Amino acid sequence: SKMTSQPTTHHYTTLTSSSDPRTVISQLMQLYYTTGWVSGTGGGISIRDNNTVYIAPSGVHKERVRESDIFEISLDEDCVLKKPEGDNLKISACKPLFFHAFRERNAGAVIHSHALSTLLATMTCIEKNEQNQCHEFHISQVEMIKGIKGHGFYDTLVVPVIENTAHEHELADEMLRVMRLYPKSYAILVKRHGVYIWGDSWEQCKTHAECYHYLFEAAVEMRKLGVPLVVEGQD
């Protein structure tokens, strides 16, 4: 679906009403570069249109990714349908993790962020769930929780946390395991690394990403102030 509002200028970025996945990826990369989510060539965005997955290249400065740099990949066949025009471009190392969200959760888009708030949240705002052999991030009674599909103000938002690995693709198996353990979650934090966030469409993914980032940032500040992240007497 198309954005109907007028273009929104944000620092260096203008979001237009294009619904072309390549254009959306390029514009969101520019937007989220200004927020510190995708810097130093880290982080990324992928969009699925039915069986075609659009994914940015690896090792490219995210604010400079152009429509012509985007790979097109078949989700079913896992083969490249269209290579970018640029020489020697490689597919993002995040591809196996993006594909888990597309296949397991039928996501329409996935964002991988290296935002400072996601990093700090995994260091200061998590606790171990022995049953699932997994750490979790919990927060409740913060208005922006309502921006996550299936959640209300009085719900405790739970985000699973997985351990980091030396290489991005090595996260894939643990991400899939945890994705199946937490079917209500639209995000997985990676300890001392960042977060993967998805949604049914790129618009919902964008909403989820902005709400989750707000909540991670709020949690880090709440922890500094000694404010509990989960309101007492709540399930």
Q: Known catalytic residues? A: 143
Residue 179, strand partner residues: none
CA distances to 85, 96, 121, 162, 197 from 53, in Å: 17, 12, 30, 25, 16
Short-list 121, 111, 129, 128, CA closest to 219: 121
Phi then psi dihedrals of residue 223, to 5 deg = -60, -40
Count Cβ atoms within 10 A of the Cβ of residue 4 and give its class: 0-12 exposed, 13-18 middle, 19 or more buried.
Answer: exposed
Q: Which two tokens stand for residue 183?
A: 């079917």
Short-list 59, 86, 54, 81, CA closest to 70: 54
Side chain identity at 206, as an amino acid letter?
Answer: K
Rounded CA-CA distance 200/105 in Å is 8
Half-sphere CA count of 11, side-chain side, radius 13 A: 11
Q: How many CB atoms lie within 10 A of CB 130?
A: 6
